[in-house]
Amino acid sequence: MSGILAWFWNERFWLPHNVTWADLKNTEEATFPQAEDLYLACPLAFCIFMIRLVFERFIARPCAMGLKIQANGPQKAQPNAILEKVFTAITKHPDEKRLEGLSKQLDWDVRTIQRWFRQRRNQEKPSTLTRFCESMWRFTFYLYIFTYGVRFLKKTPWLWNTKECWYNYPYQPLTVDIHYYYILELSFYLSLLFSQFTDIRRKDFPIMLVHHAATISLITFSYVNNMARVGTLVMCLHDAADVLIEAAKMANYAKCQILCNLLFAMFAILFISSRLGVYPVWILNTTLFESWEIVGPYPSWWLFNLLLLLLQLLHSFWSYLIVRTACRAISKGKVSKDDRSDIESSSDEDESPPLPPPSANQRHHSSATNGTNKSHGTNGYLTGALYPDEH
């Protein structure tokens, strides 16, 4: 194990030439970032997750109720034991052959069965109230951390001259403000990474997973090798647009369409200008060129910039989604969905009217097949032998 740790923390990878870890040990005169400082982020991430649950229950939920946001979810599908078993045990998206088999078995037409599966899939969507509470929590945190970042950074020299990020690097002392900023941001993104698997399942789930992993890697990486100055600039720049998108989503859930449209327009302008304009010109310029000139490249420098370029690719992808949403909004006259972060995995399913109750003949046929299925398994439709699932 000691050999693995020695290999991982190889000074020639992490630090510039002629710099060792011993040079960055804390002294009475100066404090430098230490890798063990980040251990605090794990329990703090759990605390943030618990604070979120309390916030959503006792603050966000009453606010939603005050805005007349109901807890009602999508319309529920008509109870049917056979279709429910197919839905839970085999597939949520039956193919044409299975639909025809179920149609004969239940004496229902194929379109009615398709509508049942569509309603059943929509039934798993969270309510508007749940979405509002989640957005209000994120809005509150982003607003706080962005405000803190701006107040802190406006007093620093590297906000106004990015070359200050590299002068005397890596012997730049760690301040209390930087330490607090880093630990809080890292804890929040760790909690987001965990909640990815418990929150609303979105269409861009894999992309967000990559984003959170890249963000956590960048925060950890830049702290360990003391690139904290440029790291604070990256974090503050990214938090700015997130405040507006969460506010726009809350307005959308509260059916304040004019406010939603205004906030989304502001978000789109800020996001695209900051992520496709300011980020490459300001951040990538200093990490790629100014640092090369002042410090020079070394192995971890290449990895750090590779992660920053990965973020730039994600920015381009999300900008495309935002422009697409804006074009739809212009054509329809309102913003109805946020392609970037508010479309669930089944949001392309349209809402359908309630299913008609089965006729007496259908009820009789369903009862008969239910009795048969207890011993024979729905005539083979649940065994998967005749109709294997599509993957």
- Please write the tens of the pLDDT for every residue from 272-296: 999 999 999 999 999 999 999 999 9
So what's the pLDDT on residue 51? 97
N- to C-terminal Cα separation, the chain: 41
- Please write the tens of the pLDDT for every residue from 20-68: 999 999 998 899 999 999 999 999 999 999 999 999 999 999 999 999 9
What is the C-alpha to C-alpha distance for residues 164 and 159, in angstroms, rounded to an integer? 8
Residue 368, pLDDT above cutoff 50: no
- Mean predicted confidence (pLDDT) in 94-101: 90
Coil, helix or strand for 391? coil
Class of domain 81-124: mainly alpha
- Mean predicted confidence (pLDDT) in 150-175: 96
In DSSP terms, 344 is beta-bridged to 202
Tokens representing residue 16 in the block: 């510039």
Confidence of residue 200 (pLDDT cuts 50, 70, 90): low
Name the residue with higher pLDDT: 206 or 236. 236
Which residues are CB-neighbours of 289 under 8 A, at least 6 positions away?
none
What is the C-alpha to C-alpha distance for residues 275 and 319, in angstroms, rounded to an integer? 8
What is the C-alpha to C-alpha distance for residues 109 and 94, in angstroms, rounded to an integer? 14
Share of the chain above pLDDT 70, in %: 83
Tokens representing residue 348 in the block: 């392309």
So what's the pLDDT on residue 41? 96
So what's the pLDDT on residue 391? 35
So what's the pLDDT on residue 378? 36
So what's the pLDDT on residue 91? 87
Q: DSSP letters along 220-268, please?
A: HHHHHTT-HHHHHHHHHHHHHHHHHHHHHHHHHHTT-HHHHHHHHHHHH
Tokens representing residue 356 in the block: 């008609």
What is the C-alpha to C-alpha distance for residues 244 and 266, in angstroms, rounded to an integer? 7
The dihedral of CA 364, 370, 373, 378: what is its sign? positive
So what's the pLDDT on residue 335? 61
Residue 343, pLDDT above cutoff 60: no
Residue 243, pLDDT above cutoff 80: yes
CB atoms near residue 171 (< 10 Å) = 12
So what's the pLDDT on residue 204? 67
- Please write the tens of the pLDDT for every residue from 100-134: 999 988 989 889 988 888 888 877 777 889 889 99
- Mean predicted confidence (pLDDT) in 258-267: 94
* Most confident among 72-76, 145-149, 330-334 (mean pLDDT): 145-149
What is the C-alpha to C-alpha distance for residues 34 and 174, in angstroms, rounded to an integer? 10
CB 202 within 8 A of CB 342: yes
So what's the pLDDT on residue 209? 85
So what's the pLDDT on residue 366? 41
Q: In the chain, which residues fall in CATH 1.10.10.60?
A: 81-124
- Mean predicted confidence (pLDDT) in 178-193: 95
Residue 340, pLDDT above cutoff 90: no
So what's the pLDDT on residue 336? 54
Coil, helix or strand for 344? strand
What is the C-alpha to C-alpha distance for residues 355 and 147, in angstroms, rounded to an integer? 50
- Mean predicted confidence (pLDDT) in 74-86: 83
Residue 367, pLDDT above cutoff 70: no
Range in 224-233, 238-247, 352-361, 373-382 the model is least confident about:
373-382
Q: CA geometry: angle at 263 spanning 261 and 269, to 5°?
A: 100
Q: Extract long-range pairs of 101-104: CB within 8 Å, 24+ residues apart.
A: 101/379, 101/381, 101/386, 101/387, 102/381
DSSP state of 164: G
The dihedral of CA 43, 49, 55, 57: what is its sign? negative
Among 140, 131, 136, 139, which Cα is nearest to 70's?
A: 131
